[in-house]
Amino acid sequence: MGQVVSREELVNIREQARQRGRMVVFTNGCFDLLHRGHVRYLGQAKALGDILVVGLNSDDSVRRLKGPERPLNAQEDRAQVLAALEVVDYVCIFDEQTPAQLIEAVVPDVLVKGGDYRADEIVGRDTVQAAGGQVVVVEELAGFSTQDIIERIRQKYC
């Protein structure tokens, strides 16, 4: 089971991983309603290295990105659910609009985003590539999104 850690703890964990020659993979997102697409995506990310770190948008960050009705689940709840997944080693909540500062602090070996992004759009790409790391875009699982789930709930129950 993974752990929810602070940015400072994560920087120390990263340094220890570097000293041991372990590959750190980083991804980020809101993960408001965990679904099959998320699970598949996180599994693909974990397969690219030894340690999977998930940067999790804080509640305030999600509201700025998705609007006042989101998130549906509080950041601590979202963090604990993610940390309970076998493939996730560490979860770190960030409050900024993007994970750029967290990526600059951690400098992962691999930066992963879903197929709804192009490589040149990925925040932190320059930081990771300048350090010799790689950026990977994994294919989305079609038909699975938090917004789709929210819409199905609204149609069925509202």
Q: How far apart, in whole angstroms, are the C-alpha atoms of residue 138 and residue 116?
A: 9
Helix (H) or strand (E) holding 45: helix 36-46
Is the predicted pLDDT of residue 89 greater than 70, yes or no? yes
Mean pLDDT of 84-110: 98
Q: Which of 128, 103, 108, 105 is nearest to 8 (CA)?
A: 105
Tallying the residues shown for the chain, one arrives at: 158
Tokens representing residue 37 in the block: 């697409």
Q: Look at the block and give the residue holding tokens 């601590």.
A: 76
- Looking at residue 150, its pLDDT comes to 79
pLDDT digits (tens, 9 = 90+) for 98-143: 999 999 999 999 999 987 778 888 999 999 999 999 999 998 766 6
Confidence tier at 59 by pLDDT (50, 70, 90): very high
The pTM of this model reads 0.93
Mean pLDDT of 73-84: 98
- Looking at residue 154, its pLDDT comes to 80
Supply the CATH number for residue 50's domain. 3.40.50.620
Q: CB neighbours (10 Å) of residue 101? A: 17
**Per-position DSSP letters for 79-99, written without gaps between them:** HHHHHHSTT--EEEEE-SSSS
1 vs 66, more confident = 66
- Looking at residue 66, its pLDDT comes to 92
pLDDT digits (tens, 9 = 90+) for 10-31: 999 999 999 999 999 999 999 9
pLDDT digits (tens, 9 = 90+) for 31-56: 999 999 899 999 999 999 999 999 99
As for how many domains the chain has, the answer is: 1
Is the predicted pLDDT of residue 88 greater than 80, yes or no? yes
Owning domain of residue 31: 3-157
Q: Which of 114, 74, 101, 102 is nearest to 5 (CA)?
A: 102
